[in-house]
């Protein structure tokens, strides 16, 4: 059968028809909200390069978490922003039980209980004065194995503050296994690991640097993956699974949809995609100029992750989009 008997347009005639045959759809539970909590502020501080996203105070974070839960979002991923003066070469605020990330975790758990899965970023870049994701050796290079020791300590401190899922995002070799053993040794067998399996060195992290007041000079190319390489994502996946990853993630999202598809096809565990700060900024900026339709662009990008195989999407639009789905009766 071919044209004129076959006409694919028949299934595109009305909104109801298109809805009926949609292969992929989003549900609020597919969404996880990344959120920033900053030490020493009473009012939320807007992030200029991410219109609509703020650095939260602990109080405003609690409200944002409650709102996300109310909208049906399934999780929240916290990033802590300590006051500059507390950052040092080894990232001490990351292992301080009263550090801002830990305070944020406790506040969110107290606010929402188990209504949201509470997750935290497990990395050093938010807490080091040099802004790298690890500790440096005497030549200024990121020292993989010494960094693992810091991640292990941070993991236990975050778990003790109430994190249910930890996201090791520093791309150190062996980080998932090392953190897993440290958690287990401290009695945190139930804390899950969301492995940043394929994480590429990307220009699209730009606005995140502002979001966490990062002082990074240089780049992360000696630890994050290089954009031309696809095959090594599978190698990273094998390693993370062998080390005990409970969930795996691909990041950034849009420029790496091919990687997401590859990982989703090969992964026996749930797969997340992270729609990062620069992807958010790009849509917001173009929409602000009236160059694209904001609502449609958001929906289209989120749908692309589902189509490429993601089970979960981390997005700064999580609450807004979940509310929109709720209003539409999803
Ligand atoms: C590292 C980390 C980064 C992001 C999440 N975790 C920054 C980086 O790797 O440079 C970026 C998230 C975003 O851009 O939205 N702690």
Give residue-wise pLDDT tens across range 94-122: 999 999 999 999 999 999 999 999 999 99
Q: Is the CB of 123 under 6 A from ligand 1?
A: yes
CB of 205 within 6 A of ligand 1: the answer is: yes
CA of 277 to the centre of ligand 1 (A): 8
Measuring CA to CA, which residue among 263, 108, 127 is closest to residue 199? 263
- What does the pLDDT read at residue 330? 55
Q: Work out the burial of residue 140: count CB atoms within 10 Å of its CB; fewer than 13 is exposed, 13-18 middle, 19 or more buried.
A: exposed
Residues acting as catalytic residues: 199, 251
> Could you give all domains of the chain from N- to C-terminal order, each with its CATH number?
25-327 (3.20.20.70)
Rounded to whole angstroms, how far apart are CA atoms 278 and 15? 32
CB 178 within 8 A of CB 147: no
Pocket flag, ligand 1, residue 105 (CB < 6 Å): no
Between the CA of 273 and the centroid of ligand 1 the distance, in Å, is: 13
The ligand 1 atom at the shortest distance from the C-alpha of residue 167 is 6
Q: Give strand pairing partners of 59.
A: none
Confidence of residue 91 (pLDDT cuts 50, 70, 90): very high
**Cα angle, residue 296 at apex, residues 66 and 299 outer, rounded to 5°:** 50
Residue of minimum CA distance from atom 7 in ligand 1: 205
Please list the residues that pair with 193 across neighbouring strands. Answer: 166
Q: How far is ligand 1, taken at its centre, from the CA of residue 177, in Å?
A: 21
Interface ipTM: 0.97
Q: Give the tens place of pLDDT for each residue, 247-276.
A: 999 999 999 999 999 999 999 999 999 999
121: Cβ below 6 Å to ligand 1? yes
What's the whole-number mean pLDDT along residues 305-317? 98
**CB of 301 sitting under 6 A from ligand 1:** no
């Amino acid at each position: 059968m071919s044209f004129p008997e076959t006409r694919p347009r028949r299934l595109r005639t009305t909104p109801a028809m298109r809805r009926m045959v949609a292969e992929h759809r989003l549900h609020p539970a597919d969404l996880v909200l990344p959120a920033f909590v900053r030490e020493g502020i009473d009012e939320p501080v807007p992030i200029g390069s991410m219109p609509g996203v703020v650095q939260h105070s602990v109080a405003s974070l609690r409200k944002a978490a409650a709102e996300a839960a109310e909208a049906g979002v399934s999780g929240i991923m916290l990033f802590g922003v300590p006051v500059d003066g507390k950052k040092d070469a080894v990232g001490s605020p990351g292992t301080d039980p009263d550090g801002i990330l830990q305070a944020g975790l406790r506040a969110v758990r107290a606010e929402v209980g188990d209504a949201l899965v509470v997750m935290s970023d497990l990395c050093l870049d938010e807490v080091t004065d040099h802004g790298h994701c690890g500790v440096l050796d005497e030549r200024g290079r990121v020292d993989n194995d010494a960094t693992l020791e810091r991640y292990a300590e941070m993991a236990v401190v975050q778990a003790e503050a109430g994190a249910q899922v930890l996201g090791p995002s520093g791309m150190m070799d062996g980080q998932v296994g090392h953190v897993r053993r440290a958690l287990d040794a401290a009695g945190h067998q139930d804390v899950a690991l969301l492995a940043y399996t394929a994480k590429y060195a990307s220009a699209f992290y730009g606005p995140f640097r502002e979001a966490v007041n990062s002082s990074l000079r240089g780049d992360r190319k000696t630890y994050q993956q290089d954009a031309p390489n696809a095959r090594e994502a599978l190698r990273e996946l094998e390693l993370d699974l062998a080390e005990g990853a409970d969930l795996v993630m691909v990041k950034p999202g849009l420029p790496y949809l091919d990687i997401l598809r590859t990982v989703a096809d090969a992964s026996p565990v749930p797969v997340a995609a992270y729609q990062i700060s620069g992807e958010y900024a790009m849509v917001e900026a173009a929409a602000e100029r009236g160059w694209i339709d904001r609502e449609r662009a958001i929906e289209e990008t989120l749908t692309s992750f589902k189509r490429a195989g993601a089970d979960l999407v981390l997005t700064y639009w999580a609450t807004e989009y979940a509310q929109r789905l709720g209003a539409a009766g999803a």
